[in-house]
Structures are given as structure tokens and as C-alpha cells.
Amino acid sequence: MPIDLPPVTRALLIANLAIFGLQQLIPDPMIIHFALWPLGTDFAGPDGTRVAFGIWQLVSYGFLHGGFTHLFFNMFALWMFGGAIERLFGSRPFATYYLACVVGAAVAQLIVVRYFTGGIYPTLGASGGVFGLLLAFGMMFPHQRLMLLFPPIPMPAWLFVTAYGAIELYLGVTGTQAGVAHFAHLGGMAAGFIIIQYWRGRLPLKPRRILMR
């Protein structure tokens, strides 16, 4: 993978790292104000600070992380797939695509929490945008070989993405892996798929025709 990353991918990496550093300095205010809280949330925290859903949280949650491991794997995936997708889409469409996937993931998570799981807890992490990039890579470079980490098995990108999506759906439906926003991941992939199909002119809307593949 090239070290010389295109500008938006590089800026996203820097922003996520910088905000993670800020989280270490003022963790509670960052989570209270910028994590994604469920719709209808409105209560006073231990110090009297109001905790509530805010529209900006649809984007801001995607720059927060729950720990170094969470940050590392998301940033590794952003570094791995972001450059190739940004060079293909162009920087401005890439930024639009990534942020739309973050928002799509947030909307999916809000719906699932409100109507299916309940509970009041914050969602955070860049996984929605990262899963959108993974979907884009699988669609744009379907025959590119990817290597699994455990076990180290090579497979084409389209199969990797399809299998990953199926696993996320299974884990989300069964609740096997608690504490992970599986439907947010799927929401990021779904948003990415819709945008790519729109750009390809395959939806009943006027296409942008950014993608020709």
C-alpha cells in the first residue's frame, strides 16, 4: 500500500488521531456531546450536564473511538482502502461518499436501538465509514486479492465483502457479539451501495455518473 496518501484520506486519518488524543484529555465531555445518543435521550449526567441526541452527532460520532484497539483497526482499514477509493472517485466525491456512509450507519443504528433493542448507550467509531469503503473496494475492485488475518487465506475482494456482510448480519440478528454496532456497519455498507448505484445511473434518479465501471 502506498505511503503517499491522497488528501482526504490523509486528513481523515489525522482528524481521527487528533480527536482520539482529545478524548484522552477530556473523555466525558467528548462522549456526552459528540457520541451518537439514541433518539429521545434527554437526562442529566452525574455532574448535571445534559445528555441528549443532537443532529451533529450523526457525523461527530464517527471520529470518536472506544480505545486504542478500536482506533487502530478502523484506521488500518481506512489507510488500506481509502487511498485506492479516493483516487478512483476523486477527493470531493470520496469525502461525500465517506461521510454519507457515516451518516447512513448512524441512521441504521438509531432505528435498531429505537425499535428493536432499546436501551440508552452511546455509539462511536469510524466503522460505518470504513465498512462503506470496504463495500466500495469490493464493488470497484472485485477480483483484487485480499488476505484474511485469521486464518491467512487469500480471497477475491467481492467474496471477502460478501462474507463479511453476511457475518455482520448474523451477529446483529443473533446478538452474539454484544457491544458491537453490527447494524451500523451494515448501514454504512447499504449507504455506500446506494450511492455507488446512483453514480452509476442504476437508480430511478438523475445520475451523477462519477463512476464508469
Task: Please report whether residue 42 resides in a domain.
Answer: yes
- Domain presence at residue 2: no
Whole-number Å distance between alpha carbons of 24 and 1? 30
| pLDDT tens figures, 133-191 | 999 999 999 988 887 666 677 888 888 888 777 766 655 554 444 456 777 888 999 99
Q: Kindly state the percentage of the chain with pLDDT values over 90.
A: 55
Q: Does residue 206 form part of some domain?
A: no
Q: Tell me whether residue 208 is in a domain.
A: no
Which domain range does residue 50 map to? 7-199
Is 205 inside any structural domain?
no
With respect to residue 175, please indicate whether it lies within any of the assigned structural domains: yes
Total domain count for the chain? 1
Q: 85-116: per-residue pLDDT in tens?
A: 999 999 999 999 999 999 999 999 999 988 87
Could you tell me the CATH number of the domain that includes residue 154?
1.20.1540.10
pLDDT in tens, 110-149: 999 888 777 788 999 999 999 999 999 999 999 888 876 6
Please check whether residue 164 lies inside any domain of the structure. yes
Residue 14 belongs to some domain of the structure: yes
